[in-house]
């Protein structure tokens, strides 16, 4: 039994989970279900995925309960490409009474056999479900108080799990839990970023989110220092260029198109009218970023080539996916990158379907030092 349950009424069962729950963009449930099946096989979990198109979440139901912490150790919000959040679930509560939702939720949480230090009430990212976001904000404090009275919640207690309650509709709740640091730092896995007026295009939010979602704190600190050099392939109108220049990097923007005047006004940008696929830097740079509209395999090969030849130390790039066979396209790009870099050295490749992406995914690639 985890040490954090020592003050619960005894005896307490070992905390168990019944499967996995993943949040995603509506319309990508099939890809998440396939990833969950693959992930479950890798960690030795037996069961099946349930996905309803347009629901913006997918569940994986285990054939039998598994120890919560054993399963939770494998779950991290960056684990799957198409999932914004990945957590073990331990209870589903149906037919919630409108006047007293807290009582059955507390009862279900008690049966989990553990306590919690943080609480997150969420809805799937659909137009219908988001109408309940106000309810989630209002209900958080009363539910937390009820959990505290039941001895299931300790504020700021280091090491305790985070409780996630997902409301797909008014009368149903999925209860999930995550280990500290394993859940996305934003509710529903959706970062709230403001559109800078000077950035030139809304695509700037893709790179901003990628920087926070794909890089570690240490990587952000060491690789985004003022004065480092970067290249933006297919830069116009300059949304990605602005993100780097705004952080003090000197950017060479490659595009035959025109950059927004506000991007050039940073005085950190050199604009060269050239083809992003054929242009080469005179010396290595820290970053190459790329948001060109092209076949994903061609972009993946381009990024791998820049890394393999030392033109850049790290890269962030977008892969525009086909409407069908999205996961297969991602797998193909992984294979192309591995083929090019396998003999060069160990590398880090992280791919995620970001909130600000649509029919695309964003990837980070760098050789390990």
| Ramachandran sector of residue 112 (left: φ over 0; alpha: ψ -120 to 50; beta: rest) | alpha
Check whether residue 27 and residue 102 sit in a common domain: yes
Which of 189, 206, 228 is the C-terminal boundary of a domain?
189
Check whether residue 225 and residue 183 sit in a common domain: no
Report pLDDT for 3. 38
Report pLDDT for 217. 94
Rounded Cα distance, 197 and 225, in Å: 23
Helix/strand/coil percent split, the chain, to 5: 30, 25, 40
* SS3 assignment, position 125: coil
With b for 16 or more beta-carbon neighbours within 10 A and e for fewer, the 220-255 pattern comes to eeebbeeebbbbbbbbbbbbbbbbbbbbebbbbbbb
Higher pLDDT among residues 323 and 234, named by residue: 234
Which of 189, 220, 241 is the C-terminal boundary of a domain?
189
Which of 189, 218, 246 is the C-terminal boundary of a domain?
189
Check whether residue 244 and residue 128 sit in a common domain: no
Q: Determine what percent of the chain is predicted with pLDDT higher than 90.
A: 85
Q: Mean pLDDT across the stretch 143-162? A: 90
Check whether residue 206 and residue 245 sit in a common domain: yes
Report pLDDT for 112. 82
Rounded Cα distance, 237 and 255, in Å: 9
Report pLDDT for 158. 77
Q: Please provide the average confidence, as pLDDT, over all residues in the chain.
A: 93
Check whether residue 280 and residue 310 sit in a common domain: yes
**Terminal Cα distance for the chain, rounded:** 39
Q: Which residue from 18, 15, 170, 191 is spatially nearest to 89, judged by alpha carbons?
A: 18
| 320 in active site | yes
Catalytic residue among 130, 149, 206, 320: 320
Rounded Cα distance, 157 and 147, in Å: 14
Please name the residue that has the structure tokens 């919640």. Answer: 153
Domain total in the chain: 2
CATH code of the domain covering residue 120 = 3.30.70.2810
Report pLDDT for 14. 65
Check whether residue 282 and residue 166 sit in a common domain: no
Q: Mean pLDDT across the stretch 70-81? A: 95
Whether the pLDDT of residue 331 is over 60: the answer is yes
Report pLDDT for 256. 96
Report pLDDT for 129. 87
Check whether residue 43 and residue 154 sit in a common domain: yes
Q: What is the pLDDT of residues 177-222, one digit of tens each?
A: 999 999 999 989 999 898 888 888 999 999 999 999 999 999 999 9
The domain of 176 spans 3-189
Q: Mean pLDDT across the stretch 44-63? A: 96
pLDDT-based confidence at 230, cuts 50/70/90? Answer: very high
Q: Mean pLDDT across the stretch 6-17? A: 53
Q: Determine what percent of the chain is predicted with pLDDT higher than 70.
A: 96
Whether the pLDDT of residue 72 is over 80: the answer is yes
Cα 63 to its chain centre, rounded Å, is 27
Check whether residue 233 and residue 355 sit in a common domain: yes
Report pLDDT for 7. 39
């Amino acid at each position: 039994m985890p040490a954090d349950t020592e003050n619960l009424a005894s005896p307490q069962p070992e905390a168990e989970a019944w499967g996995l729950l993943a949040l995603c963009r509506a319309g990508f449930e099939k890809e998440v279900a396939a990833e969950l099946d693959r992930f479950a096989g890798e960690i030795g979990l037996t069961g099946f995925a349930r996905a309803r198109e347009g629901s913006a979440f997918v569940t994986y139901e285990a054939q039998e309960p598994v120890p919560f912490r054993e399963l939770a150790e494998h779950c991290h919000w960056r684990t799957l490409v198409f999932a914004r959040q990945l957590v073990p679930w331990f209870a589903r509560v149906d037919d919630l009474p409108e006047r007293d939702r807290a009582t059955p939720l507390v009862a279900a949480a008690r049966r989990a056999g553990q306590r919690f230090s943080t609480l997150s009430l969420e809805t799937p990212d659909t137009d219908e479900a988001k109408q309940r976001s106000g309810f989630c904000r209002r209900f958080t404090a009363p539910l937390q108080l009820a959990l505290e009275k039941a001895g299931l919640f300790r504020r700021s207690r280091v090491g305790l799990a985070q409780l996630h309650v997902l409301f797909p509709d008014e009368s149903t709740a999925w209860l999930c839990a995550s280990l500290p640091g394993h859940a996305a730092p934003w509710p529903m896995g959706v970062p709230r970023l403001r559109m800078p007026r000077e950035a030139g295009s809304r695509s700037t939010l893709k790179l901003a989110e990628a920087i926070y979602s794909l890089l570690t704190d240490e990587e952000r600190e060491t690789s985004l220092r003022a004065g480092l050099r970067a290249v933006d392939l297919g830069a116009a109108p300059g949304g990605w260029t602005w993100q780097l220049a705004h952080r003090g990097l000197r950017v060479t923007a490659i595009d035959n198109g025109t950059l927004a005047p506000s991007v050039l006004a940073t005085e950190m940008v050199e604009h060269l009218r050239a083809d992003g696929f054929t242009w080469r830097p005179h010396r290595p740079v820290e970053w190459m970023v790329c948001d060109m509209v092209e076949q994903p395999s061609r972009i993946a090969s381009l990024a791998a080539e820049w890394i393999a030849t030392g033109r850049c130390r790290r890269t962030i790039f977008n892969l525009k996916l086909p409407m069908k066979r999205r996961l297969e396209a991602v797998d193909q790009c992984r294979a192309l990158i591995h083929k090019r870099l396998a003999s060069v050295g160990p590398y880090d490749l992280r791919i995620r379907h970001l909130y600000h992406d649509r029919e695309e995914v964003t990837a980070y690639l760098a050789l390990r030092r």
